[in-house]
Amino acid sequence: MKVQFSDVSMRFGAMEVLQRITLGAEEGEFLCIVGPSGCGKSTLLNIAGGFLAPGSGSVTIDGERVTAPDRRRIFVFQERGVFPWLTVEGNIGFGLFDVSEDERRARVAQYIELVGLKGFEKSYPRELSGGMKQRVEVARALAVNPDVLFLDEPFGALDSITRLQMRSELLRIWRAERKTVLFVTHDIEESVQLADRVVVMSARPGKIRRVVDIDIPHPRDLSSRRYIELRDLIFGEIGLAHQV
Amino acid sequence: MKNLDHHRDTESTEEALSSSVPLWFKDSTLSFVMPLITATIGLAIWAAAVKTSGTKIFPSPIAVAKAIGTLAEKSLLWHYIADSLTRVFAGYAAAIVIGIPLGFLLGWYAPLARAINPLIQMLRPISPLAWMPLAVIWFGVSNAAPIFLIFLASLFPIIVAAMNGVRNVPPMYLQAGRNFGLSTPQLMRRVMIPAVLPRIIVGLRLAFGIAWVVLVAAEMIAVDSGLGYLIIDARNAGKHYDLVVAGMLLIGLIGLLLDTAIRKIEQWISD
């Protein structure tokens, strides 16, 4: 297993947030974690990122225990994580402070191209739309060539059209780069569109209710019977009747 | 990426719509001419009021202009302005040098802030002018007394701006910085300082406004030069109200110039 959660529990004061989470992600796997808000899925991701120490249990990556943040595994926030005082170029090159100037320039150019921001190199985040800022953040993460990406509701602040576009962009990038991806979302549709496996969590204290294999090849047909079946399965698992 | 441009359009449209200033006003010559018109009307009302009321005390705009001319001729004017500016910059610079690092420390180390912040919050509402008797005892009738008052006046807004700035840096900026493997000094230089800078600049402008107000009052007591002294001296030496009003106008105009200059720096930094 690339990323292994072993019996991870967490409490904030008297509040139990995570209860005995055991979960593994394989190398190159796209794993989505869904659950109602407050189920501790973000906490779980922050523990894996090394930003929080688990109350008990442990997380290992490549068999090595996670104790601190590490640039081999980068956390991507909603688009608010881009630095407003740096240009697109400056943001994407932010983590490349220990490589030569030439390599830095080459890698920045490569990832600007990959996320489709050519022509916006000198723009500042305030001049960009939400979706573009999100691309900057993804490119900033990829530029340091990490082997794991943690994405915490990265598209949550985007409008639904942009969100759909960003999903297919992310899948394209994931196929090109083959990173292990842990993607936290409360959007069930999103998880079924993206993931190899969907981890369904229960409301607080967060426990794993079920892990669902999404056995639909990419590109996924969102009106196929299998897609709807899996989606409804997860809706049911979370306890939502899929009707308004 | 055609769809990207679509969003940019939307946002610039919103920006244009949200601006309450009519479009024709954005013309820079107009935005310069309008205040001039206001000033002219103001002067006209002032002149008419002096004339119709027949006051012997309050000077007309022309008398004030003449007074400024006389001052300028005697080169006293430049001398006073230079003295006032020197004092304000000395006190202000000292407040920056001490206030910004102190504010950073207080923002960064919460326990330190808990220990020191109540003291700061208690000292802050005391008008710097209330320190005047003590300043005169400590520094005598010298430049040091008003400089000390300016220092006090600008210190607290600067400390508070830096402290709140550091506290309000979005945690994800720091998290991202650490994620990319930055050491604490690197985090300071590459994340903390640029993130806090806009707030500090706002605090600096605020502090300067207060410093300028305090300077004039301080000069009325502790020294025998400067724009504040000009006013008090003109009154004491035979009720020269033309000079009093001239002093007031100069203080206002120089204050406006300096504020504009700081705003320009502010824009330049945030761009």
pLDDT in tens, B138-161: 988 788 999 999 999 999 999 999
HSE-CB at B151 with a 13 A cutoff on CA atoms is: 16
CA distance A11 to chain B (A): 21
d(C-alpha B237, C-alpha B246), whole Å: 15
Tokens, residue B202: 């706002």
Helix/strand/coil (H, E, C) string of chain B?
A: CHHHHHHHHHHHHHHHHHCCCCHHHHCHHHHHHHHHHHHHHHHHHHHHHHHHHCCCCCCCHHHHHHHHHHHHHCCHHHHHHHHHHHHHHHHHHHHHHHHHHHHHHHHHCHHHHHHHHHHHHHHCCCCHHHHHHHHHHHHCCCCHHHHHHHHHHHHHHHHHHHHHHHHCCCHHHHHHHHHCCCCHHHHHHHHHHHHHHHHHHHHHHHHHHHHHHHHHHHHCCCCCCCHHHHHHHHHHCCCCHHHHHHHHHHHHHHHHHHHHHHHHHHHHHHC
CB contact under 8 A, A97 and B186: yes
pLDDT of residue B3: 45
Helix (H, G, I), strand (E, B) or coil at A212: strand
DSSP state of A79: G
Which of B2, B3, B4, B197 to probe the A interface (max A CBs under 10 A)?
Answer: B4
Give the residue on B whose Cα is nearest the Cα of A78: B172
> DSSP string spanning A185-210?
ES-HHHHHHH-SEEEEEPSSSB-EEE
DSSP state of A235: H
Q: How would you classify the pairing of strands A73-76 and A148-152?
A: parallel
Contact residues, chain B, for A128 at CB < 8 Å: 8
CB contact under 8 A, A70 and B181: yes
Tokens, residue B66: 């003449």
Whether A97 contacts chain B with CB within 8 A: yes
CA distance B99 to chain A (A): 23
Contact residues, chain B, for A150 at CB < 8 Å: none
Closest CA to B174 of B108, B112, B102, B117: B108
Give the residue on A whose Cα is nearest the Cα of B194: A85
Answer yes or no: are the C-beta atoms of B215 and B145 closer than 8 Å.
no
Q: Residue A95: which of B180, B194, B195 has the nearest Cβ?
A: B180
Q: Is the ipTM of this complex over 0.85?
A: yes
Q: Residue A129: which of B8, B176, B181 has the nearest Cβ?
A: B8
d(C-alpha A218, C-alpha A220), whole Å: 5
Contact residues, chain B, for A131 at CB < 8 Å: 3-4, 7
Hey, what's the torsion of the CAs at B224, B226, B230, B231, to 10 degrees? -110
CA distance A103 to chain B (A): 17
Answer yes or no: are the C-beta atoms of A154 and A139 closer than 8 Å.
no
Q: How would you classify the pairing of strands A180-185 and A15-25?
A: unpaired
CB pairs under 8 A between A and B: 62
d(C-alpha A34, C-alpha A192), whole Å: 10
Regions in chain B scoring below 70 on pLDDT = 1-28, 270-271
Amino acid at B242: D
Q: Residue B179: which of A69, A85, A131 has the nearest Cβ?
A: A69
CB contact under 8 A, B4 and A132: yes
Closest CA to A214 of A200, A203, B208, A205: A200
Give the pLDDT of chain A (244 residues) as one tens digit per residue: 899 999 999 999 888 899 899 999 999 999 999 988 878 899 999 999 999 999 999 999 999 999 999 999 999 987 688 999 999 999 999 999 989 999 999 999 998 988 889 899 999 999 998 889 988 998 999 999 899 999 999 888 888 888 888 898 889 889 888 899 999 998 999 999 999 999 999 888 888 999 999 999 988 888 999 999 999 999 988 877 656 6
CB contact under 8 A, A75 and B173: no
CB contact under 8 A, A129 and B186: no
